[in-house]
Structure 1
Amino acid sequence: MSHTPLSDADYQRLAATLNRFLPQQGMNLERLDGFFAALLCGPEQIKPTECLPAIIGDAFDDDAAFTSDKALEQFVRLLGGHWLDIAATLREDSGFQPWLDADAAGEIRGNDWAEGFAEGMQLLNEDWGLLFDDPEQAPLLEPILTLAFERNPDPEVQVPALTPEQREQCLAALSDAVHGIYRFFAAIRQQLEQEEEALERQQRH
């Protein structure tokens, strides 16, 4: 199945639509990128459309969120396109680059991306326990969770504010971490896919 990557204009449209829903607890593009990366790396594939309530927040229940069915369809198409862009990069093992936007001060902090990734992990919390419990592979999560917990309001899990050097190290480690996590769960994903196919075959006969 060939997929045409989204264009720069597509990404501008996607970002603009997401930004409209920020006041309603929606995700920006950086956070969405982390969220999708976690879902695609994890053991069980969840479709992006199943996550619309998490992506656009309270706008999901707002009939006026989209001006028309066509506008909603276009948004879902762009979401799907971004999902397929990440999936292709991970499948081809071709240098995943997290989508990181500069803040108002022009600094790339990475917190939104990491918080999105952590949110994606929470959807299948028990399955991710396999990675946490693996002493060799668990360190892959360190740069992600460090950035994810830096702004956490709970003082028990909050990470002290990072120095610029520490932040740089975490950001530089994200790409390898994502690829490593994707490979870690690959066998489980394959097994689930085979079980699903077997079930479908049974239902057909």
Structure 2
Amino acid sequence: MSHQALSDSDYERLSATLSAFHAQGAMSLETLDGFFAALIAGPEVIRPAEYLPLILGAAFEDETSFASTKAFDAFMHLVSGHWLDIARTLEAGEEFHPWLEADGEGKVSGNDWAEGFERGMALLPGDWQLAFDDSEAGAALAPIMMLALERDPDPAVRTVVEQREELLGQITPAIATLYAFYTGLRARMDAALAAAENDKTLFDEPVKPAKTNKRR
């Protein structure tokens, strides 16, 4: 199926819609980008029914959030388009560049993006533990987790970020590493399941009785 990448004006509309629901706990576009990056580069596909309430917050249950069904459909078109933009980038082996926004002082922290990524990981914590346990994938997660935990309310786990620009620059190769890790893992699991199914088929074949020589 062909996909037309979202335009700058599309992203402006998506960002504006999400911002309108900020008071209801909706994600910002930066947070959404990190969230989708985790879902797409991670263990398995998550259905929209599972992630849409997380994106919109309380606005998801508010029937007055969208003026009409057409307005909601237009929003979903933009959300789906952003998902496909990321998915097609990773599938093509192209570099993924995070959507990072500057604050009122013009500074880019990356915290919202990393926190969105962490929220995506939280949907499949057991499967993400596999990445933490792998030396290469775990190292790729390190800069993201540093940024994600910088604003953690618990002082015991809160991180102190130094050399922020370096950490932000590591996001692009990190996503490529994580995508390759889980793509490879799924391929090995599929191969193992296929081999097991093949063995089961062989064992399920009826055994023909051996022929015996009868004396006349």
* Structure 1 stretches lacking a partner, 5+ long: 196-205
2:95 corresponding residue in structure 1: 95
CA distance in 1, matches of 2:185, 2:52: 25
User: What is the match of residue 81 of structure 1?
Assistant: 81
Task: Provide the C-alpha distance between the structure 1 equivalents of 2:2 and 2:112, rounded to a whole number of angstroms.
Answer: 30
For residue 175 of structure 1, what is the aligned residue in structure 2?
172
Identify the residue that residue 198 of structure 1 maps to in structure 2: none
The code of the aligned residue for 2:166 comes to Q
Q: Which residue of 2 aligns with 1:27?
A: 27
- Whichever residue aligns with residue 46 of structure 1, its letter is I
Higher alpha-carbon Rg: 2
Render the CA deviation track for 1:76-109: whole Å, top value 9, x for unaligned. Answer: 1100000000001111111100000001110111
Task: State the TM-score, normalized to the length of structure 2.
Answer: 0.85
Cα 1:125–1:136, aligned 2, differ >3 Å: closer, same or farther? same
State the SS of the aligned residue for 2:43: coil
Amino acid at match of 1:174: I
Cross-structure match for 1:155: 155
- The CA deviation string for residues 101-120 of structure 1, in whole angstroms up to 9 with x for no partner, is 00111011100000000000
2:9, 2:102 → 1: CA distance? 19
Amino acid of the structure 2 residue aligned with 1:183? A
Partner secondary structure for residue 95 of structure 1: coil
Name the SS of the counterpart of 2:175 in structure 1. helix
Structure 2: stretches of 5+ with no match in the other structure? 194-216
TM-superposed deviation, 1:191: 6.1
- 1:109·1:167 contact (CA, 8 Å) conserved in 2? yes
Offset at residue 36 of structure 1 (A): 0.2
Q: State the Cα distance separating 1:2 from its structure 2 match.
A: 1.8
Residue equivalent to 1:199: none
Aligned residue pairs, count: 192
Deviation of 1:188 (Å): 3.3
SS at match of 1:99: coil
Contact 1:48 1:79 (C-alpha < 8 Å) held by counterparts: no
Distance 1:29 1:73, change over 3 A: same
With over 3 angstroms needed to count, the CA separation of the structure-2 counterparts of 1:167 and 1:97, relative to structure 1, is same
* Whole-angstrom CA distance in 2 between matches of 1:73 and 1:191: 38
1:193 deviates by 7.5
Cα pair 1:6 1:81 within 8 Å, conserved: yes
Residues 91-170 of structure 1 correspond to what in structure 2 (within 5 A)? 91-160=91-160, 162-163=161-162, 166-170=163-167
**1:130-169, Cα deviation, whole Å (9 max, x unpaired):** 1111123311101100000001111111002x23xx1011
Aligned-residue offset at 1:126: 0.5
